[in-house]
Amino acid sequence: MSDDLSFFFLLMSNGLLIGLMYSLIALGFVLVYKATDAINFAQGEFVMIAGFVAAGCLMVWGAPLWLAVTLAVASLVVFGFVLERVMLRRLIGRPVIAVVMATIGLASILRGVGPFTIFSGTKPLPLPIRDEPFMLGPLFIPPIQLLGAGVSLTFLAGFGWFFLKSRKGIAMRAVADNQQVAMAMGIDVERYFGVAWAMTGVVSALGGILWGNLLGVDVNLALVGFKVFPVVILGGLDSIPGAILGGLIVGVVENIAAGYVNPYVGGGTKDFAPYVLMILALMIRPYGIFGKRIIERV
């Protein structure tokens, strides 16, 4: 195999694995949108909080990994429940823009509070996996990316089944379609709001641990949420298969851009290539590849 072809396959493989890790974070967007019909702009800050909790347990208190992971997941689940109960429950029945603005404000607050946590600077989040990449022909596969892809596929498949086959998942979809009608049918809208935010906490915690190991833990970990936004726009805000496909496309596009374009422009294309893709998607197919086609006249 030629060097050029080997380089291409290396970029593709790494892009696909990173894309699946993006899909896990994108699942948080999808879960909230499916249940509330609103976008959670604080998704990246959820990931950041999980990273802070896990790294704090490991590096500051010396807790074992299983306890750090458990506390990170539990803290995000509780945070999701409390957030829904204290702030978002008051917005049930209000215009969607009210929830959107509330999550934007929450994101700003959480990022501002970040520097006042128990540690400053970037901290590692070590996991019991090897650092050396696996060699598969011309491919170099980092273990953390392989682990992240496996976790992402597991949870994406599990939540896909939940929404399609379980009674609670179908009820959550009904709540997203029309909250007033769902309440008239006897569905406890407030309960399913809480369940959706708690489920978002679970995937955010896992994403925070995986991305915290890959990037380190500091307030900039919240930027992962913005990197994932093109994923959900491309795949469709209400589609779990769309989150998978959108993550794969974005991961491959940014890796290809970094590998082939960066040498000519001095770098940086990996940071903006997903947003170029997002703008093109909004121009051509604004509801995403698998999203619901909804036309609103205003």
CATH classification at residue 77: 1.10.3470
pLDDT of the residue at 293: 64
**Could you tell me the residue range of the domain that residue 175 belongs to?**
3-115+139-284
Neighbours of 284 (CB within 10 A): 7
In a domain, 275, yes or no: yes
Report the pLDDT averaged over residues 209-214. Answer: 90
In three-state form (DSSP H/G/I as H, E/B as E, the rest C), the secondary structure along the chain is: CCHHHHHHHHHHHHHHHHHHHHHHHHHHHHHHHHHHCCCCCCHHHHHHHHHHHHHHHHHHCCCCHHHHHHHHHHHHHHHHHHHHHHCHHHHCCCCHHHHHHHHHHHHHHHHHHHHHCCCCCCECCCCCCCCCCEEECCEEECHHHHHHHHHHHHHHHHHHHHHHHCHHHHHHHHHHHCHHHHHHCCCCHHHHHHHHHHHHHHHHHHHHHHHHHHHCECHHHHHHHHHHHHHHHHHCCCCHHHHHHHHHHHHHHHHHHHHHCHHHHCCCHHHHHHHHHHHHHHHHCCCCCCCCCCCCCC
In a domain, 289, yes or no: no
In a domain, 35, yes or no: yes
66-94: per-residue pLDDT in tens?
A: 898 899 999 999 988 888 788 777 776 67
- pLDDT class of 298 with cuts at 50, 70, 90: very low
Mean pLDDT of the chain: 82
Asked if the model's pLDDT at residue 54 lies above 70, the reply is yes
Total number of domains constituting the chain: 1
Read off the pTM.
0.87
In a domain, 128, yes or no: no
In a domain, 168, yes or no: yes
In a domain, 290, yes or no: no
13-43: per-residue pLDDT in tens?
A: 888 999 999 998 998 888 888 777 778 888 8
